[in-house]
Structure 1
Amino acid sequence: MKKITCLFLIFVGLSVSAQIKVGRTDNDNDLKLSTLPYYNFGKGVGLTSPDSIFQLNIRFRIQNRVTYYDNEDQDPAYDGQIRRLRLRFDGYVGNPKFLYAIQLSFAPGDTGEIREGENLNIIRDAVVYYRPNASWNISFGQTKLPGNRQRVNSSGGLQLTDRSINNARFTIDRDFGFQVHHLNEYKEKFSYNFKGAISTGEGRNVTGNADDGVALTGKAEIFPLGAFTKDGSYFEGDLMREKKPKLMFSGAYQQNNQARRTGGQLGEDLFEQRTMKTLLLDAMFKYNGWAAMAAYMQRVTPKDPITVNPEDATDIQYVYTGHGFDYQLSYLFPSNYELIGRFSTLKPNDEIFSLTPKQKEFSFGLTKYIWEHTFKLQGELTYDILDYIDGTQRNNWYVRFQVEMGI
């Protein structure tokens, strides 16, 4: 593992040093950074120096929501909150081939609870890129890994107000490390992308946990009928009303060695480190206002996923091992109203079934796009069925209204 890591770092260093050019270039800087997609057809508010030595783009977005919950065996309740408040800065310095992207989060749901001895999670992305041409991206820093489609998409580009229950359990999210992406997208012919990453495996904003375990991630994306219009694989729904059918298949695999948290890059701290293997498969179809997506996610660990506090045998933390399916279908009317339906199943492996239930989730949404995904009104009804090992069942549901706005 150490040899593989060293070889990767040497490759990245040689690639960069062999192609550095100082000064201004005439390359178009469209900021299509495959490790940090951000749904926006514009570029926010931009500043470029008179000599074009640097460029700065500033963007923001907010999500405000109110939710009514009715969970079995609990009193009904409602909740109003700023779900997301993000600022993003991107551009280049010295040469359009050398780019940066910074994303900060300020909403309580983004930063998490402040705990003694832990870092405050304001920084979501802080990454520098070397892009020698339109086909290659080499990055170093903290950003999203090349994982499942729904996670790679910005939360601002979702059709429903939240990602699926399977994404919550199995996603690999953000991490610190190196990534290399090879992109080959063409509008009218077969296209493909290959993406790889070596990262710490500990998640974002983690310090003081040095070890010899790294996370290795690889992903392939195939577009049999050509690429989607305006990077349509990076947002849900057929907002571009594709004139020809478009299709994408993707598969990602990660081995996170000696992970310290229940979800690898996410979750609570384990009492013992565990190696995790995660498989993420996706498919997407769009045509004439119709959009369909399907996903399969799975996680396993070679050792017992359950870890026990050595000082208290009743205190346990476990890796969620199991698998799940997501199915999503939508239609966008010419009036820019959209109907969405999603069905998800989540099944834990037998080794942890006594600790967590099987789950089915039905979601129905109605969205009004005022300015594509950057300004929209969303309504959602979600119904959950939880099946426990003792044969009991619980039924929960919520209804939600959300407003998304950004530039």
Structure 2
Amino acid sequence: TWQKKHALDAPKTRWVTGKGLELNSANKLFRLQLRPRGQFLYQLNDKLGSDDERDRSHAMMLRRARLVSSGHMWGKQTTFKMELAFAPRDLGMTDNKSGNPPVTNKDNTVSRSLLLDFYVQFKQLRDLNVRVGQYKVPYSRQRVISSGNLMMVDRAITNAEFTVDRDIGIDIRSKDLFGLNKKLRYYLGVYAGEGHSSYASNDFGMMYLGRVEVLPMGNFKDYHESDHGADSKARLSIGLGYAYVENAKGNKGIIGKRPKDGGTTDTQNLTADIMFKVAGLSFQTEYYWRKGRRQQDGKLDVNTGEPLELEKPRDGWGLMSQAGYLLPNTDFELSARYALVRGAGQSSSLADNNEVGGELSYYFASHSLKLQADLLHFWAEDFGQGDNQFRLQLQAAF
């Protein structure tokens, strides 16, 4: 039983490619994997300024610095994961934009917890796994895909607008529903609806989620962008997700800014996606839709004493498509992406946005060690009146 000695006496310790350092207890009941990951980014911005002048700036940054610990305890059917983040952007460090060196209480103040994920999953039942904790809500594919396994330097504008991100909650799920050779998956969950690192009491506004995935050609790494296996067999994954957020405090649901009127929003969120891979070619497309219903909370204008005008919800839809091809007998990949965000007319506060770009990647060791360079163009209505961005990023995970 678990009360018996389980210390690491004569343990099996090894280095597992892509998973890091692995420690196993002698009785095989416990496993711990430790994996650090860093992304080192250079970014050049070329934005349209006033009087049609171009404003250029650049930055060198530690984009992400993560430490992941995962494994199992008291047997292989009870697993866990904890992910910590240490990069300034991950921690939400403040910047007073003064151009001066950091000043205490003005710059470099942490505004977010370094704890990204911490969950336990019970896998004793094939059709009814249970996950409890804080983690990425299994709503949209590109958001759940690790930032370390992306085809391009970072995610698309559609993810930034429509993601439901991380939350604290519980779900039931299965990667092999009904034992169909891992061709059918599902997720059903309920979450606090407060987002990353929430701990305060709330008004019972929760988030409810459902998602299904079908893999008609069999199981494969559909949560890794790019086709590093270069298998000649075609593989396909189709996903459909729905999330309802009640009394959301952000203008994007559980994320985004708090509306000036102080009210909340009930939001319906829908997504559908496809991942296809064959012989080094990978294609991915995702559709998003969101509709909200605003509620006033009685906040008054300080000058007139009248209730503040209710802000419009960010209703709208988005579409992202990207494709990549690993050049035969090389470690180079060429990829391209197009994404768009559209507001739902006059009843929405969501502005139109577009993204198009291409990338060249070199994989020293698949996603674990790679160098990526992309060039992107963003615009609202006029393609020629947009912004440009160049990014060069090295990722090392070991």
TM-score, normalised with respect to structure 2: 0.84
Q: Which moved more, 1:305-314 or 1:397-406?
A: 305-314
Shift of 1:207: 2.4
Q: Which moved more, 1:157-166 or 1:67-76?
A: 67-76
> Are the equivalent residues in 1 in contact too, given 2:264–2:297 (CA < 8 A)?
no
- Alpha-carbon displacement from aligned partner over 1:257-279 (angstroms, at most 9, x marks no partner): 11111222222223111111110
Equivalent position to 1:63, from 29, 34, 39: 39
> Are the equivalent residues in 1 in contact too, given 2:379–2:385 (CA < 8 A)?
yes
Q: Which residue of 1 aligns with 2:282?
A: 291
Equivalent position to 1:173, from 165, 179, 194: 165
**Is 1:203 matched up with 2:195?**
yes
> Are the equivalent residues in 2 in contact too, given 1:84–1:110 (CA < 8 A)?
yes
Distance 2:177 2:277 in 1: 16
Equivalent position to 2:20, from 41, 44, 64: 44
Distance 1:317 1:55 in 2: 50
SS of the aligned residue for 1:303 comes to: strand
> Are the equivalent residues in 2 in contact too, given 1:190–1:224 (CA < 8 A)?
no
Distance 2:314 2:297 in 1: 9
1:159 partner amino acid: M
For 1:285-324, list aligned pairs within 5 A: 285-303=276-294, 310-311=301-302, 319-324=313-318
> Are the equivalent residues in 1 in contact too, given 2:177–2:186 (CA < 8 A)?
no
> Are the equivalent residues in 1 in contact too, given 2:183–2:216 (CA < 8 A)?
yes
Q: Which residue of 1 aligns with 2:393?
A: 402
SS of the aligned residue for 2:175 comes to: strand
Q: Which residue of 2 aligns with 1:381?
A: 375
Shift of 1:64: 0.6
2:37 partner amino acid: R
Q: Which moved more, 1:73-82 or 1:152-161?
A: 73-82
Equivalent position to 1:150, from 142, 155, 174: 142
Q: Which residue of 2 aligns with 1:349?
A: 344
> Are the equivalent residues in 1 in contact too, given 2:175–2:182 (CA < 8 A)?
no
Distance 1:23 1:136 in 2: 27
Which protein is richer in helix relative to its size?
Answer: 1
For 1:170-249, list aligned pairs within 5 A: 170-184=162-176, 191-228=183-220, 232-249=221-238
Shift of 1:392: 11
> Are the equivalent residues in 2 in contact too, given 1:309–1:316 (CA < 8 A)?
no
SS of the aligned residue for 2:202 comes to: coil
For 1:111-122, list aligned pairs within 5 A: 111-113=91-93, 120-122=112-114
Query: Structure 1 residues 336 and 135, CA, compared in 2 at 3 Å: closer, same or farther?
Result: farther
Q: Which residue of 1 aligns with 2:89?
A: 109
TM-score, normalised with respect to structure 1: 0.82
Query: Structure 1 residues 162 and 143, CA, compared in 2 at 3 Å: closer, same or farther?
Result: same
1:239 partner amino acid: H
**Is 1:336 matched up with 2:353?**
no
Query: Structure 1 residues 370 and 392, CA, compared in 2 at 3 Å: closer, same or farther?
Result: closer
1:201 partner amino acid: G
Which protein is richer in strand relative to its size?
Answer: 1
Shift of 1:393: 7.4
Distance 1:315 1:398 in 2: 36
SS of the aligned residue for 2:333 comes to: strand
- Alpha-carbon displacement from aligned partner over 1:93-114 (angstroms, at most 9, x marks no partner): 3232222210000111111135
**Is 1:75 matched up with 2:55?**
yes
Shift of 1:133: 4.7
Q: Which residue of 2 aligns with 1:327?
A: 321
Aligned length: 365
Query: Structure 1 residues 94 and 81, CA, compared in 2 at 3 Å: closer, same or farther?
Result: same
Q: Which residue of 2 aligns with 1:35?
A: none
Query: Structure 1 residues 131 and 48, CA, compared in 2 at 3 Å: closer, same or farther?
Result: same
Query: Structure 1 residues 52 and 62, CA, compared in 2 at 3 Å: closer, same or farther?
Result: same
Equivalent position to 2:246, from 257, 265, 283: 257
- Alpha-carbon displacement from aligned partner over 1:179-198 (angstroms, at most 9, x marks no partner): 11122189996811011110
Gaps of 5+ in 1: 1-20, 25-39
SS of the aligned residue for 1:169 comes to: helix
Distance 1:42 1:135 in 2: 28
SS of the aligned residue for 1:266 comes to: coil
Shift of 1:288: 0.5
SS of the aligned residue for 1:151 comes to: helix
RMSD (CA atoms): 3.0
Shift of 1:41: 5.5
SS of the aligned residue for 1:167 comes to: helix
1:223 partner amino acid: L
Q: Which residue of 2 aligns with 1:5?
A: none
1:386 partner amino acid: A
> Are the equivalent residues in 2 in contact too, given 1:346–1:360 (CA < 8 A)?
yes
Shift of 1:44: 1.1
Shift of 1:54: 2.6
Distance 2:336 2:235 in 1: 20
Shift of 1:91: 1.7
